[in-house]
């Protein structure tokens, strides 16, 4: 019996010693664990930041496409309205007509410019 109790005591002493060594090891490595925690937070932040950037790039590209379509539409409309026949139709309600004769050059007879 005595041998069993000695073994039990030795086992308890060893487990206590192991606990103490484990505790000391953990305390000794706290800076390393904090560094790892910081890296984990940084990694998570970087993932969220990248997701937001991808969303912003997608949104911006969609806006760019819409603006390009609007630009092309307005450009074609301006080109259409700037044709001579369209201009004549647009100014006809104001009583303006296209010239049928070339313009006449007036010369100053007094000699001044």
Segments making up each domain of the chain, as ranges: 2-81
With beta carbons less than 8 A apart as the criterion, state whether 81 and 87 touch: yes
Tell me the average pLDDT across 84-104: 87
Length of the chain: 113
Decide if pLDDT at 1 tops 60: no
Tell me the average pLDDT across 62-88: 94
Question: In this prediction, what percent of the chain has a pLDDT beyond 90?
Answer: 45
Residue bearing the bigger pLDDT, 72 or 17: 72
Q: Tell me which residue of 71, 91, 69 sits closest to 81, measured CA to CA.
A: 91
Find the angle CA(9)-CA(14)-CA(20) to the nearest 5 degrees: 125
pLDDT in tens, 25-62: 888 999 999 999 999 999 999 999 999 999 999 999 99
Phi and psi (nearest 5°) for 49?
-65, -40
Half-sphere exposure of 17 (CA within 13 A, CB side): 6
| CA distance linking residue 55 with residue 49, whole number of Å | 10
Half-sphere exposure of 106 (CA within 13 A, CB side): 4
Note the pLDDT of residue 14: 66
């Amino acid at each position: 019996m005595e041998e069993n109790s000695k073994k039990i005591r030795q086992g308890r002493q060893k487990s206590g010693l192991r606990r103490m060594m484990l505790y000391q090891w953990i305390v000794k490595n706290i800076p390393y664990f904090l560094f790892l925690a910081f890296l984990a937070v940084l990694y998570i932040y970087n993932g969220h930041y990248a997701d937001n950037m991808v969303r912003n790039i997608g949104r911006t590209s969609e806006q760019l496409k819409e603006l390009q379509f609007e630009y092309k539409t307005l450009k074609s409309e301006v080109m259409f309205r700037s044709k001579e026949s369209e201009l004549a139709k647009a100014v006809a309600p104001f009583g303006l007509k296209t010239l049928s004769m070339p313009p006449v050059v007036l010369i100053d007879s007094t000699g001044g410019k």
